[in-house]
């Protein structure tokens, strides 16, 4: 089984190659994972830098002493995949972020679409964004990633159009699409941007705006998926076809 992943701010050791993991991550390692001497761990900053280690000792309830190996940096994968996710109802947003993180999405952009029932405003919006970011962090650890997805600030439809205009390949999941996403040619580098609309669908005005920015509408399949699952299904398809999973 792959060693568990823990997030750290730095990799500074005591001079003899020993690293002390404490705080919430140390508590999780000692009291939840119950790691003991001789077991393996992976420490990462979530931004690509990571190191393998072996537990030297567990001290108290929240302190793990690790003999740390060489710190290496995993390069960012290409093409980079960004999913623009319309805001779902309830906790379905966290479900979308969790599963998209697990399959390998690089950037997740919350989108306040015109037909979204949920709207992020003020303190509620900040709290919801915080939940999405915390979910990406925890899902990154669970799926043994060392480069976690970036969850951007929420954007308007015009903000989405700006992102699409810079993409190497831009797609909108929509029933008006005449071409299947499974058959489109994909770039080998640059940015792939995928837009997932809300339960009420992408409005005609938004679709026209995105088309002007260079995006095309595509069908994912015959069935209609929820907004919280469509992004994950489409991302898995694109990552598989782009060569990222090979």
pLDDT in tens, 208-240: 999 999 999 999 988 888 999 999 999 999 999
Residue 135: CB partners within 8 Å, gap ≥ 6? 94, 97, 98, 101
Residue 110 parent element (H or E):
strand 107-111
For residue 103, the number of C-alpha atoms closer than 13 Å in the C-beta half-sphere is 23
Categorize the per-residue pLDDT at 44 as very low, low, confident or very high, splitting at 50, 70 and 90: very high
Query: Can you tell me the mean pLDDT for 108-132?
Result: 92
Residue 146 reports pLDDT greater than 80: yes
Residue 29 reports pLDDT greater than 80: yes
Categorize the per-residue pLDDT at 192 as very low, low, confident or very high, splitting at 50, 70 and 90: very high
Residue 246, exposed/middle/buried by CB under 10 A (0-12, 13-18, 19+)? exposed
Give the model's pLDDT for residue 17.
Answer: 85
Residue whose tokens read 């792959």: 2
Categorize the per-residue pLDDT at 13 as very low, low, confident or very high, splitting at 50, 70 and 90: confident
Give the model's pLDDT for residue 1.
Answer: 59
The Cα–Cα gap between 113 and 134 comes to: 23
């Amino acid at each position: 089984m792959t060693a568990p992943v823990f997030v750290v701010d730095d990799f500074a050791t005591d001079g003899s190659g020993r690293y002390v993991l404490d705080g919430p991550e140390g508590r999780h390692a000692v009291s939840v994972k119950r790691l003991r001497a001789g077991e393996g761990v992976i420490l990462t900053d979530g931004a690509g830098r990571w190191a393998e280690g072996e537990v030297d000792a567990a001290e108290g309830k929240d302190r793990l002493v690790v003999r740390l190996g060489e710190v290496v940096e995993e390069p960012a994968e290409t093409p980079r995949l960004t999913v623009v996710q319309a805001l779902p109802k309830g906790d379905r947003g966290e479900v979308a972020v969790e599963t998209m993180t697990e399959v390998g999405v690089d950037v997740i952009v919350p989108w306040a679409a015109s037909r979204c029932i949920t709207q992020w405003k003020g303190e509620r919006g900040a709290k919801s964004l915080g939940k999405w970011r915390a979910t990406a962090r925890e899902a990154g650890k669970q799926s043994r990633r060392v480069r976690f997805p970036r969850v951007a600030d929420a954007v308007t439809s015009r903000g989405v159009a700006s992102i699409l205009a810079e993409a190497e390949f831009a797609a909108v999941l929509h029933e008006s699409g005449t071409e299947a996403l499974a058959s489109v040619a994909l770039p080998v580098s640059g940015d792939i941007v995928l837009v997932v609309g809300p339960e009420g669908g992408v409005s005609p005005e938004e679709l026209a705006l995105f088309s002007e920015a260079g995006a095309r509408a595509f069908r994912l399949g015959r069935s209609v998926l929820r907004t919280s699952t469509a992004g994950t299904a489409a991302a898995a398809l694109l990552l598989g076809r782009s060569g990222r999973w090979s």
